[in-house]
Amino acid sequence: MQALYAQLLVGLINGSFYALLSLGLAVIFGMLNIINFAHGALYMMGAFCAYFLLNGLGLNYWYALIISPLAVGLFGILLERTLLRWLTGLDHLYGLLLTFGIALIIQGVFQNYFGSSGLPYAIPSQLQGGVNLGFMFLPIYRGWVVIFSLAVCLATWYLIERTRLGAYLRAATENPALVRAFGINVPRMITLTYGLGIGLAALAGVLSAPINQVRPLMGADLIIVVFAVVVIGGMGSIMGSVITGFTLGVVEGLTKYFYPEASNTVVFVLMVLVLLVKPAGLTGRTT
């Protein structure tokens, strides 16, 4: 049973990364009509940023948790202002191709300087060790990742669904021209939305750095799984992305325990099944 709980925990952790990343993808898609292929690369940049802060400037994990999403988010804003902006009015698919190119550039540069092996990032001293819950041993850092990610997801949900800014955002997603006519600066909102989505990805990167090591390709395979998560959950609702992300992480964890050979593929198989039964995705609207 110990092993089962351990795998469930790993599943929840992966699920929190899926949730943070698919959340960002959904928000960005809503505003920019772009599927951000560079999301995995920017997640990796978040982890590397934490690594640089620690080893270059001596700033620890807690600083990284704030600085890294801001720095990578700013980089994202730069990308949006200089490159993505030119895609307005073009087919969605060009956005996918452009961000795929950006992902190749970022990953290639990091691979040149850091190879493909992982760089270690220590768990912060306050979160080391674990507690015995009776039925299982819980490493504190892992528990922290799950709870913190959940809190961030809920905060994002609150921001978008319950605040005035979120209301503007949702309105601009539905009809940008009309919202602009009301005197709201939609292009600036688009830029900030992209920054927000990227910030979430970078945050996931920082959280994963002590668990998965810091590697140039850490986001490359992850983003494909996240795409499958997005296809399953649909991009219609924020809560839908979060719940789907966590659920699929848990399902993956369970598969690792009961049938390890299929743990790599289970999300994709589920995607096929969902497409056959409910082509629009679990929460999505038809496109």
Partner 1 sequence: MSVITDNTKLGQSRSLRDEMIVFVAMTALLAIVPFTGLYPFFVMQGLCFALFACAFNLLIGYGGLLSFGHAMFLGTAGYFTAHALKEWGVTPELGIVVGTAGAFALAVLTGLVAIRRQGIYFAMITLALSQLVFFIYLQTPFTHGEDGIQGIPQGTLFGLFDLSKPTVLYYVILVGFLIGFLIVFRAINSPFGEVLKSIRENEQRAISLGYKADQYKLLAYILSGTLSGFAGSLKVFVAQNASLTDVHWTMSGEIVLMTLVGGLGTVFGPVVGAFVIVAMQQYLAGFGQWVTVIQGVIFVVCVLTFRRGIVGEIAAYFKRSL
At 262, which helix (H) or strand (E)?
none
Return d(Cα 162, Cα 171) in angstroms, integer: 13
Q: Cα angle at 197 between 247 and 50, to 5 degrees?
A: 90
Q: Closest approach of Cβ 119 to partner 1, in Å?
A: 16
Q: Are 45 and 206 in contact (CB under 8 A)?
A: no
Closer residue to partner 1 (CB): 37 or 141: 37
SS3 132: strand
Closer residue to partner 1 (CB): 106 or 190: 106
* Secondary-structure breakdown of the chain: helix, strand, coil percentages, each rounded to the nearest 5: 75, 5, 20
Give the interface segment with partner 1, choosing from 63-71, 173-181, 203-211, 274-282 (CB under 8 A): 274-282
Q: Which of 221, 258, 259, 285 binds partner 1 (CB under 8 A)?
A: 221
Q: How many residues bind partner 1 (CB under 8 A)?
A: 45
Q: Are 208 and 227 in contact (CB under 8 A)?
A: no
- Rule CB under 8 A: say whether 260 interacts with partner 1: no
Residue 218 CB neighbour total at 10 angstroms: 23
Closer residue to partner 1 (CB): 6 or 228: 228
- Rule CB under 8 A: say whether 133 interacts with partner 1: no
Of 111, 108, 110, the C-alpha closest to 100 is: 108
Of 219, 279, 239, the C-alpha closest to 19 is: 239
Q: Which of 151, 165, 178, 272 binds partner 1 (CB under 8 A)?
A: 272
Closer residue to partner 1 (CB): 93 or 122: 93
Q: Are 273 and 262 in contact (CB under 8 A)?
A: no
At 287, which helix (H) or strand (E)?
none
- Rule CB under 8 A: say whether 66 interacts with partner 1: no
Q: Which of 88, 108, 147, 285 binds partner 1 (CB under 8 A)?
A: 108
- Rule CB under 8 A: say whether 97 interacts with partner 1: yes
Q: Which of 9, 13, 102, 201 binds partner 1 (CB under 8 A)?
A: 102
- Rule CB under 8 A: say whether 21 interacts with partner 1: no
Q: Which of 2, 117, 125, 287 binds partner 1 (CB under 8 A)?
A: 287
Contact footprint for partner 1 (CB under 8 A): 29, 35, 83, 86-87, 89-94, 96-98, 100-109, 111-112, 221, 224-225, 227-228, 230-231, 261, 264-265, 268-269, 271-272, 275-276, 279-280, 287
